Amino acid sequence: MRQYANVITAYVIMICLIILVGIFQSWAIALAILNFCLISAVMTMGANIQWGYAGLINFGIMGYTALGGLAAVLISVPPVREAWQVGGLSMLLCLGIIVLIVFSVRYVLKNFQKSKRKNIYITLIIITGLIILRIVSGPAIHSIEAVEPAKTGFLGGLGLPIIFSWIAGAFFAGGLAYVIGKIALGLRADYLAIATLLISEIVIAVIKHEDWLARGVKNVIGLKRPVPYEVNLQSEQWFIDLVAKWNSGKLNLISGAEEKQAALSQFVIEGSSVFVKLCYSGLFIIVVAILLIVTQKALYSPWGRMMRAIRDNEEAANAMGKNVVKQHLLIFVLGSAIVGIAGAMMVTHDGLFTPGSYRPMRYTFLIWVMVIIGGSGNNFGAILGGFAVWFLWIEAAPIALFLINLFTSGLADTNAFKLHLINSVPYFRFLMMGMGLLLIMRYRPKGILPEKINIK
Amino acid sequence: MDFVNAIILLLNYVFVPALSYGSQLALGAIFVTLIYGILRFANFATGDMMSFGTMVAILFTWYFQSLGISLGVLPTALLAIPFAIVFMILYMLIIDKLVFSYYRIKKSPPVMLAMVSIGVMFVTQAVVRIIIGPFDRRFFDGERFILKANQFKEMTGLNEGLTIKSTQVLTIVITLIIVSILFWFLNKTKTGKSMRAYSDNEDLALLSGIDPKKVVMITWMIAGILATIGGVLYGLDKSFKPFTYFNNMLPIFAAAIVGGIGNPFGAFLGGYVIAFSEIFLTYAYKKFFMYVLPESMEPDSLLQLLSTDYKFAVSFSILVIVLLFRPSGIFKGKVL
């Protein structure tokens, strides 16, 4: 028990902080923070598998998150029949052409000897393939995007429940990671970081500008939810009864029947949004719990020991007959798939997909701050990092405002310096993140909850 | 005549913009490469350091403007650059002292230093936004154009105009001057040679009595100069916005790696490679072919290889291709 004391303390403090937000600000805000903490925790677990278990730097988290989001759109939105009629066939043909290009390149790579001719063949295949793609897809894309551009203008999805997208998102992200891993995993650590960062930017560029796929920067809104809608809840009798029971103490204090009714409907409105968020929290907690159990099991399995061996000494592991390249690729795919799940979860929670909002600062570097601060190599640490950093990220502005008011309390309210500081409150969160990262790296380089391996 | 028109068209829309954009990237890429070659880490704070230098220059420009000092046809910002450089060097030396030197002395792996630079990136970004705000700012004054399209048409009697902005000429000229001085410094002076030796083989350099502290300090000073000038030139040509500067880090990295990271000359050329390929691949050649081809063969589509939305994606794809086939860059890297 004692060895878990600091883990338990850290989590208790975190939960208390969120409860404090609930008491002082509102429960809806506290639950929103909790939900995003859980999503961040999933992302950090993905990054932690790659960095903590295997020592791979993946700065492409943004790309996988966006692909997870894309999966949510492609799974849940009902198909746009008109668009499929005008351009669906050509788009499928394009998919076929891409597969054909890939396979013919692979064929050439395998069956020809290393020579100039081989390179020429490959370039020829790719160039002709791209030209054919362009010719086939051009008119199709144009006609798809012309179908009610204000509302649809894309192919739509499968119309399945959005919860399936969490699995599909994992497959999407894992697939991309497989391709990237094949290309880039041989690179040195910092090259890999830069390469993955840039590749994720390419992914975002494609999602942003291929309107036929997911409307691009025009956003997809109103995705179906896996949980009830507030409006429907508010008219359900069982829910009103539940709220009445929950708030019976407060309601009994009110005497007039009409006022009581008004107070009750107010409680119902508040309660419905809290209830919906609680439903999400429940779903997310299930995901986090499953992932935590699986990753913990993996960490202490022979496979986990092998991964640590590879991380700590690649040559030695290689000499022991472990296939370092294959294992690196495997863990790269697994970690990215987990990030993909988080991306799909996030879009599910928001109910909208906005490719323009994917920025490396928020989706790549912040997640890395979480991993480093929480403790790389330790799943509990990674989750805690996700919680703590996201909490700070949201609550940084109120904290900064409080500090500014405290330190400038001697100045008049109209003082230009004070006003300037107060106006730039939102940017203090970057300062806090940076300072947090620098301090942790300097004084506790293994994170708040460092990696601890018990040899049994 | 049509042929000349076509050439002017390309000059106007492709060549001149690419040359000035390439110069801006080149300065940044040399900055990245110097840090990588001597301090041995990928500096993720590059873009934000450039934006910090530019911010200081803008503040000085405003101050000079309020005093009524100006350079006439030239932008006042040129006058502010030396002052900004002093501040920038101070800032970099302070950061090095507070943050990087600890890990350098401990001989941490490069990955650790790259992570630390992310912390510096967050802090610098916050400082810039707190001081000057996240908004788009133009601080150019003086004469905007050297050659206007209409003047050119009148002068030559051609259909196509050629516009040359003064910022473009300034960018190219200043870049060439700075880069030549830098190469002279690295190749001919004793300090420069000691820097190259340090980059090539640290232990050997230490044995032969090179003072590592001095080398590191001079590296940061040169980096400060490059970052400030690169940032100010970009801001003069386009505009200053902290977020764009952060994003510029990506093509700059691409340029540095394409040229062979650790190799300043490679980085210099890499900047132009990235800029030219970005603009060449996203330019719509319709008008060009209308001039060159006979009327019967006139194209009806835009003849654009890639839509301009993919501008960034082009440079990144080049980087990926280079990494795949020549991981050390086009011009072998890792020798300063």
DSSP code string of A396-435: HHHHHHHHHHHHTTTS-TT-HHHHHHHHTGGGHHHHHHHH
Q: Which two tokens stand for residue A63?
A: 């790309």
- Cβ of residue A433 closer than 8 Å to a chain B Cβ: yes
Q: Residue A274: how many CB atoms within 10 A of its CB?
A: 18
Between CA B326 and CA B260 the distance in angstroms is 9
Residue A153 has φ and ψ, to the nearest 5°, of 70, 20
Compute and round to an integer the Cα radius of gyration of chain B.
Answer: 21
Task: Kindly report each contact of residues B174-183 with a partner whose C-beta sits within 8 Å and lies 24 or more positions away, as own/partner.
Answer: B174/B229, B174/B233, B175/B23, B175/B24, B175/B26, B175/B27, B175/B233, B176/B23, B178/B27, B178/B225, B178/B226, B178/B229, B179/B26, B179/B27, B179/B30, B179/B268, B182/B30, B182/B222, B182/B226, B182/B264, B183/B264, B183/B265
Minimum CA–CA partner of A195 in chain B = B320
A396 in B contact zone (CB under 8 Å): no
The ipTM is 0.88
Q: What is the mean pLDDT of residues B48-66?
A: 93
- Minimum Cα–Cα distance from A446: chain B residue: B112
- pTM of the full structure: 0.90
Q: How many CB pairs under 8 A join A and B?
A: 121
Q: Give the dihedral sign, CA A142/A146/A151/A155.
A: negative
Answer yes or no: do A184 and B320 touch at CB < 8 A: yes
User: Kind of pairing, strands B164-165 and B145-147?
Assistant: antiparallel
Looking at per-residue confidence, does A50 or B307 come out higher? A50
- Residues of chain A found within 8 Å of residue B100, distances taken between Cβ atoms: none
Contact B316 A199 (CB under 8 A): yes
pLDDT at residue A419 greater than cutoff 50: yes
Top-confidence residue, B216 or B146: B216
Tokens found for residue A293 = 């159990």
**Residue whose C-alpha is closest to residue A275's, from A225, A332, A321:** A225
For the segment A162-190, the average pLDDT, to the nearest whole number, is: 88
**Is the pLDDT reported for residue A175 higher than 50?**
yes
- Cβ distance A430 to B111 less than 8 Å, yes or no, reads no
- Structure confidence at residue B281 as a pLDDT band (50, 70, 90): confident
Element (H, E) at A180: helix A164-184
User: What was the pLDDT predicted at B336?
Assistant: 45
Alpha-helical runs (H) found in B96-109: 101-105
Q: Which of B99, B114, B310 sits opposite A209 (nearest CB)?
A: B310
Q: Which residue has the tokens 């894992």?
A: A174
Copy the structure tokens of residue B147: 């050659």
The rounded distance, in Å, linking the Cα atoms of A182 and A46 is: 19
Average pLDDT, chain A: 87
Closest CA to A451 of A390, A374, A391: A374
CA–CA dist A288, A290 (Å, integer)? 6
Residues 6+ apart with CB under 8 A from A70: A169, A172, A207, A213, A214, A353
What count of other Cβ atoms lies within 10 Å of the Cβ of residue A316? 11
Q: Kindly report, residue by residue over B130-169, the tens digit of the pLDDT.
A: 999 888 888 888 778 888 878 888 887 777 778 888 889 9
Chain B residues with CB inside 8 Å of A445's CB?
112
- What local confidence, expressed as pLDDT, does residue B333 receive? 53
- One-letter amino acid for residue B172 of the chain: I
Q: In terms of Cα–Cα distance, which of A333, A291, A335, A329 is closest to A310?
A: A329
B59, B132 Cβ separation under 8 angstroms: yes
Q: Considering only CB atoms, which residues of chain B are within 8 Å of chain A?
A: 41-42, 44, 99, 102, 109-112, 114-116, 118-127, 129-130, 133-134, 246, 250, 253-254, 257, 307, 309-310, 312-313, 316-317, 319-320, 323-324, 327
Nearest residue of B to residue A210 by CA position? B309
More confident residue, A291 or A84: A291
Give Cα A286 to chain centroid, integer Å: 16
CA-based nearest residue in chain A for residue B250 = A198
The per-residue pLDDT for A456 is 54
Q: Report, in this order, helix, strand and coil percent for chain A, each rounded to 5.
A: 80, 0, 20
- Using CA coordinates, name the residue in chain B closest to A436: B119
Give the CA distances from residue B60 to residues A228, B63, B70, B80, in Å, rounded to whole numbers and listed in that order.
57, 5, 12, 5
Distance from the Cα of A196 to chain B's closest Cα (Å) equals 9
Task: Identify the pLDDT of residue A273.
Answer: 87
